[in-house]
Structure 1
Amino acid sequence: AKEPHLSPDGKSIVFVKNEGGRTNICLFSLETEEVTYLTKNEDYTQYFTPSFSPDGKRIVFSRLKDGQRDICFMCADGLGVVSLPNDGVDDRDPSWSRDGKRIIFSSDRTGIFNIYKLNLETKRIKQLTNVIGGAFEPSYSFDEKRMVFSSYSANGYDIKILEGEHDKEAGLGQEQRLPGYQVTRLSGERKNRSPIIPHLKVRDKIYPEQMRGADHRLQKTGSINNPEKEEEYPVRKYRPRIRPILWFPMGLSVMGYAQDVMGKHIFE
């Protein structure tokens, strides 16, 4: 379990649960200690950073589906999932304003991750930062006069604060209107809120053969990509290296995960 967020009434926690490489958004009741699955992941969709709206009626989160990472909304009971228009950019790290009328988030709309604000009533979006490394994980202060975020540069990650009236930030262009969307409740009601157990599918993991001997190449040439002699390090086709992938019903497993600092490339 990771990325928990407490509901405004203090009665439940929304969080991301990882089971066998498959994530779901879940709700934990502090009164009954029951866990309810709000999503049913059947296609290796990845979920991130869920959080309640100030009134506790909605949840915003980011979702990686079919290679596209977008911001989504749903009702607090898991119904009515709607995403922002799929415009081919990477949107992540959403955070609510105090009145629940706006969200701030990180996006690479210009090729570099910066912080943006979306007005949920006017459907207008505006850039708030203009860094050259990357800006992530924004959050408003209680009075919304300051915004804190994680900034990436050649020195690594640092915490920075943006002061003043963000709507009047100079030199960052005009607001843009997003195509129409609406967060609505789907027809029908959830009759059974007991936990939903996702169906697991076995999937082959592919490992790059050419990474073998990387330490030797690094010592000799200073790079794992430049062998001394090409014939000494032939490149072979990728193929599965470990079988079986999973053991049932009980057993041990190993899973690997990596990504670059900008989140552009993710390996599993």
Structure 2
Amino acid sequence: MTSLTRFVGFAVVVSTLLIGKTGIAAELDYWDGYYAGLNLGASASTAKMKFDPSGSFLGPTAADIADGNFWRSSRKLKSSDLTGGVHAGYQQRYGRTLVGIELDLSQLGQRDSSSVTATVPTSGSQYRLEQQVETDLSISLRPRIAYVPESGSGDLLLYVTGGLTYTRAKVFQKFTQLNVAYYSEGLSDSRWLVGWVVGGGIEYALSKQWSLKTEYLYANLGSIKKNNASGNPGFAAYTTNNRVDLTNHTFRLGMTYRF
């Protein structure tokens, strides 16, 4: 084998390797930059409701009323709903790793209510606890870290994400003694809550501009509370402590366009 032949063979091998690396880089580069899209899925929400009376009530004391066994411990309101929204973000590639940030606006649509009545055996008094929770708009801002597996051709992306949520919620909780003109102020509030969210997903490139993703997110949406809420002052000196903790699980599909 002549020196020229060896040189040509070596050049062919090097060229093949360089072309291969350039091809892989080109395939990965289309994940870079800005993107936006739509998503649709299902969510499972839980509202942990707490109601704790204290002080002197008309007839029995707060400890005696606790024999009713439905407001002293926490109760959970649960609902499953469709969810949908829009998302947008930016990501930058470093080798096979991408780092970015994503903003999304979703409609959670949680709606659930409960009304429970109990009779206190020691006094015969009847009490009712009414509870209701609603959530609608939710905004999240989440850093995102992704990885393109070496075994693929660059069209598959695995990612984890986590950040802050901002959700609008409305809660209602009222405790009533049915056999007298007695009521508790309880809790009635509507506000935006700050919470946190974590999750991850898989994204597949259908083309250099379009991709399809499936994603799971767990969100602690935040809490609403009201302590020392007073009841009807014409009857007795008592207060109630109220608290609602909101959480959400979301599974969704998304279609994304990369600019």
TM-score (norm 2): 0.22
- More helix as a share of residues: 2
Larger RCO: Structure 1 or Structure 2 (Cα < 8 Å, ≥ 6 residues apart)?
Answer: 2
Q: Looking at secondary structure, tell me which structure has more strand per residue.
A: 2
Q: TM-score, normalised by structure 1?
A: 0.21
Structure exhibiting the larger radius of gyration computed from Cα positions = 2
